[in-house]
Amino acid sequence: EKRAKTREMQPATYTIDNRRIRLLANINLLSEIQLARELKVEGIGLYRTEFPFLIRSNFPSEDEQYLIYKGLFDKTEPGTVTTVRTLDAGGDKVIKHTDFIQEANPALGLRSIRFSLKHRHIFRAQIRAILRAAHGREKVRLMFPLISSIDEFLTAKQVMAQCIHQMEQEGVPHKNDPEVGMMVELPSVLATIDEFAQLADFFSIGTNDFIQYMLGADRGNELVAEHYISYHPAVNCGIAKIAAAAIRHDIDVSVCGEMAHDPDHIPFLIGVGITTLSVDPKFLPRVQATVMRTNFSRASAYARLLLKQTRVKDAAEVLKTGPGK
């Protein structure tokens, strides 16, 4: 009963035909939380943990990280969801401490969850710090980035379970039942997406990387910007498939990439069944306005039409026309 009350107090956004869409914030720095709260966000859908460490020359200790994550939880409204992503080092996020890694293809290299699983002590310290800081909090979500296989996801979950076991033995206060989810950023997970949906508590689609890896076009390279097509039929089809699997297995599915704040894309995302959008706080008012003028049943028909397109130019045409009023 207490839960229901808390939920009522939270702001909610609905489509014209009353489908509830949850709007969450992407946070890079703790200082951004204030704006998100002023704009009445429902929680945090992505806290990027690498940002405080970008310019440091060594990794912060477990205790130093604990203080940072404690600051995160202290600044967010109790009862709201807080999604903490484990280190997503490498690729476009170059952490000074890891610049000893020299690779010809950093985007395809030892980055993100791969880095964490290779350097277990760093991974464990981070998980322990997050769960210690989350002690006593509800709705804490731990999220692993760049998952490429079921095996990798299970290994990451196992490391978390070991951390919890260890903290129990040591009598260290911590959160022992976070929701554990994954970012969907690699096309490789599509083949076994149903099994992922059974193992994960939630999905969050990182469209920035998903498009990059689906189309083989660097997300930050202007020279191939014309090949980085957010409405490419393969991207649309992938997103629809991920959403459908999440719906079948009754887990939350959000989009936290740049696509989530684009008014041209929001009707498609809602139409395929995405229920949560996580965006940079500055985009919240625009996203809220877009959701409020979207009609879910129209958006579903529109999504089906967009999914029928096999050519980029036809998809572009459908996108330009929009779902109609």
- Which residues sit at the interface with Mg ion, rule CB under 5 A? 206, 209
Our finding on whether 147 is near ligand PEP (CB under 6 A) is no
Our finding on whether 257 is near ligand PEP (CB under 6 A) is yes
The minimum distance between CB 317 and Mg ion, in angstroms, equals 29
**Residue 87's Cα: distance from chain center in Å?**
13
Cβ atoms of residues 91 and 111 within 8 Å:
yes
Contact pattern for ligand PEP over residues 112 through 131, marking x by CB under 6 A? --------------------
Binding partner selected for residue 256 from Mg ion, ligand PEP, none, CB under the kind-specific 5 to 8 Å limit: ligand PEP
Our finding on whether 249 is near ligand PEP (CB under 6 A) is no
Tell which phi-psi region holds residue 175, choosing left (phi > 0), alpha (psi between -120 and 50) or beta.
beta
| Size of the residue set binding ligand PEP (CB under 6 A) | 9
Q: CA-CA distance, 85 to 183, in Å (whole number)? A: 9
Binding partner selected for residue 238 from ligand PEP, Mg ion, none, CB under the kind-specific 5 to 8 Å limit: none
Residues 283-322 that bind ligand PEP (CB under 6 A): none
Residues 12-71 that bind ligand PEP (CB under 6 A): 48
Cβ atoms of residues 16 and 293 within 8 Å:
yes
**Which residues lie below 8 Å from residue 51, measured CB to CB, with a gap of 6+?**
28, 29
- Alpha carbon distances (Å) from 177 to 112, 141, 160: 23, 9, 10
The minimum distance between CB 169 and ligand PEP, in angstroms, equals 34
Binding partner selected for residue 178 from Mg ion, ligand PEP, none, CB under the kind-specific 5 to 8 Å limit: none
Strands 20-27, 13-14: pairing is antiparallel
Q: How many residues does the chain have?
A: 325
Q: Which amino acid is at 225?
A: A
Residues 185-224 that bind ligand PEP (CB under 6 A): 185, 206-209
Q: Residue 280 or residue 302: which is nearer to Mg ion going by CB?
A: 280
Q: Residue 152 or residue 323: which is nearer to ligand PEP going by CB?
A: 152
Q: Which amino acid is at 243?
A: A
Rounded to the nearest 10°, the torsion over CA 280, 284, 285, 286 is: 70
Q: Which residues bind ligand PEP (CB under 6 A)?
A: 48, 88, 185, 206-209, 256-257
